[in-house]
Amino acid sequence: MNKIIISPSILSADFMNLEREITSVKEAGAEWVHIDVMDGHFVPNITIGVPVVKSIRKKTDMFLDVHLMIENPEKYVKAFANAGADLITFHYEASDEPEKVISLIKSFGKKAGISIKPNTYSDKIFPYLNDLDLVLVMTVEPGFGGQEFMHDCAMKIPSIKEHSPENLIIQVDGGINNITSKICKSLGANSLVAGSYIYGSNDYKKAIESLI
Ligand code: DX5
Ligand code: ZN
């Protein structure tokens, strides 16, 4: 069986103790950290930006999985790349020319991901699959942690997988827990983002292990 990459979302972490929260998920077995960047325009919430990514980079060697929920992602790719992101995922719905954003991300030597919101059909991203490192299927409306998993959205996974090259990572984000993770894995996902399920638990290791 393929390895499942768990990417804990720090959106649900204690921001006053971010270093400790990141170290804790690493010690609990995670290799990636999911960083949700929101601009108050593409989504109705504002979270963190470039300076925080830069500070996190200084304190950890974990793989920084940056999820941009922002308009005009092309304007900010350079800043997030320089801040130390390893993977930059932007939204299909936020860009008129996704192929340009993908090559821009790659021009900085970073891995490129594209994400689709619940109402976006999977075939919209088929033209880009060969150029991408990751596809992120949202199983909640982006903007907030702690929402309920939308089963219909997960049904996009098999068709994406069918059209994908072998090494493309299919990641799912939103409402992931020990039950919904099984559904996503059985449909073909090999990376899971989890915020409230991990950071809301009192045993990060147990929570992470229950997702693998
Ligand atoms: C939502 C974010 C998610 C969020 C997931 O817009 O993209 O990464 O942190 O939170 P949970 O796992 O609580 O649904
Ligand atoms: Zn996210």
Per-residue pLDDT tens digits for 190-201: 999 999 999 999
Task: Tell me how far the alpha carbon of residue 29 lies from the centroid of ligand 1, in angstroms.
Answer: 19
CA–CA distance from 85 to each of 7, 98, 180 (Å)? 14, 19, 27
- Show the tokens assigned to 46: 């504002």
Q: Across-strand partners of 33?
A: 64
Task: Tell me how far the alpha carbon of residue 107 lies from the centroid of ligand 1, in angstroms.
Answer: 28
CA–CA distance from 114 to each of 69, 153, 202, 203 (Å)? 11, 15, 32, 31
Average pLDDT, stretch 28-43? 98
Task: Tell me how far the alpha carbon of residue 170 lies from the centroid of ligand 2, in angstroms.
Answer: 13
Average pLDDT, stretch 72-78? 98
Residues within a 6 A CB radius of ligand 1: 9, 11-12, 34, 36, 67, 140, 142-147, 173-176, 193-197
DSSP letters, 169-196, are: EEEEESS--TTHHHHHHHHT--EEEESH
Task: Tell me how far the alpha carbon of residue 165 lies from the centroid of ligand 2, in angstroms.
Answer: 23
pLDDT of 161 > 60? The answer is yes
Can you say how many angstroms the Cα of residue 102 is from the centroid of all Cα atoms in its chain?
A: 16
Residue 110 — φ and ψ, nearest 5°?
Answer: -105, 160
CATH superfamily of 5-211: Aldolase class I (3.20.20.70)
pLDDT at 2: 64
Q: Which atom of ligand 1 is nearest to the CA of 67?
A: 7
CB neighbours of 145 closer than 8 A, spacing ≥ 6? 9, 11, 12, 36, 195, 196
Q: Whose CA is nearest to atom 6 of ligand 1?
A: 142
Closest CA to 66 of 34, 23, 31: 34
pLDDT of 1 > 60? The answer is no
Q: Which of 144, 151, 176 to mutate to test the pocket of ligand 1 (most atoms within 8 A of CB)?
A: 144
pLDDT of 43 > 90? The answer is yes
pLDDT at 181: 98
Distance in angstroms (rounded) separating the CA atoms of residues 145 and 131: 29
DSSP 8-state class, residue 65:
E
pLDDT at 32: 98
Amino acid at 138: M
pLDDT class for 67, splitting at 50, 70, 90? very high
- Show the tokens assigned to 23: 């170290």
Provide the mean pLDDT of the chain: 98
Amino acid at 81: A
pLDDT class for 163, splitting at 50, 70, 90? very high
Q: Which atom of ligand 1 is nearest to the CA of 142?
A: 6
Q: Which of 6, 7, 12 to mutate to test the pocket of ligand 1 (most atoms within 8 A of CB)?
A: 12
Average pLDDT, stretch 130-138? 98
Residue 162 — φ and ψ, nearest 5°?
Answer: -60, -35
Amino acid at 86: D
Helices 50-59 and 18-27, interaxial angle, to 10°? 50
Q: Which of 47, 134, 147 to mutate to test the pocket of ligand 1 (most atoms within 8 A of CB)?
A: 147
pLDDT tens per residue across span 145-160: 999 999 999 999 999 9
pLDDT at 188: 98
Average pLDDT, stretch 110-122? 98
List the catalytic residues: 36, 173
pLDDT class for 176, splitting at 50, 70, 90? very high
